[in-house]
């Protein structure tokens, strides 16, 4: 897919205030610092469309971007960092949970995992939460430039093995690097194909 336009629309913490326009939406989520905002900039070939920081917790809001005047891309706050009350499941902020439960035009969520990390409870719980709410998701293994290819293969294979303890089949996955743009075409083509598949539902 060619990116012709990428426009920031609105930030907020209230799903009711997210854009009303009914067009396909794709959310990017994962632990704080995993590289969500960097990936969005890489995909859009824009340096600072989404705000980036080396300090975890940079993205605090639900950020909507409209791409090619036809679909929304959403940068979300990371989980596993913000101070939240204990009763809140797995440390997800309530407004993130509301976003996923209420956003009717959400067609696919990308769960980002740092390719250097072994499976972590909070990520597995988040995927569980998506599954329980019948929300389709993919996995994006990020920061591929930080490991050699044999180490990456080993990590990803063992990650998938762990997932198969919880899921009958594996979700689609991608390997990306925001430094080298690895995986850009694959992720954008995937989105383009879904946009075609769901077009009838958005008429």
Q: Catalog residues that contact Mg ion under the rule CB under 5 A.
A: 36-37, 58-59
- The footprint of ligand GTP on residues 59-88 (CB under 6 A) is 59, 77-78
Query: How far is Cα 164 from Cα 115, in angstroms, rounded to an integer?
Result: 17
**Minimal distance, residue 169 CB to ligand GTP, in Å:** 27
**Minimal distance, residue 47 CB to Mg ion, in Å:** 14
Integer angstrom CA distances of residue 96 from 105, 131, 132, 151, 186: 15, 15, 15, 33, 27
Query: How far is Cα 34 from Cα 77, in angstroms, rounded to an integer?
Result: 11
User: What residues have CB less than 8 Å from 154, skipping those under 6 apart?
Assistant: none
Phi, psi of 186 (to 5 degrees): -60, -45
Using CB under 6 A, which of 93, 142, 155, 195 touches ligand GTP?
142
**Minimal distance, residue 36 CB to Mg ion, in Å:** 5
The answer to whether 103 contacts ligand GTP (rule: CB under 6 A) is: no
User: What residues have CB less than 8 Å from 128, skipping those under 6 apart?
Assistant: 166
Name which of Mg ion, ligand GTP, none residue 172 binds, using a CB cut-off of 5 to 8 Å depending on partner kind: none
Of 19 and 56, CB closest to ligand GTP: 56
Q: H or E segment at 71?
A: strand 71-75
- Plot region of 183 (φ>0 → left; ψ -120 to 50 → alpha; else → beta): left
Name the token pair of 111: 């769960």
The answer to whether 178 contacts ligand GTP (rule: CB under 6 A) is: yes
The answer to whether 58 contacts ligand GTP (rule: CB under 6 A) is: yes
Closest-by-Cβ residue to Mg ion is: 59
Of 102 and 181, CB closest to ligand GTP: 181
The answer to whether 37 contacts ligand GTP (rule: CB under 6 A) is: yes
Contacts with ligand GTP by CB under 6 A lie at 32-38, 52-54, 56-59, 77-78, 142-143, 145-146, 177-179
């Amino acid at each position: 897919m060619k990116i012709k336009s990428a426009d920031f629309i609105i930030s907020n913490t209230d799903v009711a205030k997210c854009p009303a326009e009914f067009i396909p939406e794709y959310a990017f989520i994962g632990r704080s610092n995993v590289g969500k905002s960097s990936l969005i900039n890489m995909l859009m070939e824009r340096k600072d469309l989404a705000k980036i920081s080396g300090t975890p917790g940079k993205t605090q809001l639900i950020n909507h971007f409209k791409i090619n005047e036809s679909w929304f891309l959403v940068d979300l706050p990371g989980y596993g960092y913000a101070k939240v009350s204990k009763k809140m499941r797995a440390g997800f902020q309530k407004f993130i949970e509301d976003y996923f439960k209420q956003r009717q035009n959400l067609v696919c969520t990308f769960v980002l995992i740092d390719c250097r990390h072994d499976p972590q409870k909070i990520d597995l719980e988040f995927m569980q939460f998506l599954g329980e709410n019948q929300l389709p998701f993919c996995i994006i293994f990020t920061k591929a430039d930080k490991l050699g290819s044999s180490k990456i293969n080993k990590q990803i294979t063992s990650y998938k093995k762990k997932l198969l303890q919880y899921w009958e089949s594996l979700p689609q996955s991608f390997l990306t690097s925001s430094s080298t743009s690895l995986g850009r075409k694959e992720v954008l083509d995937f989105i383009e194909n879904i946009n075609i598949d769901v077009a009838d539902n958005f008429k």
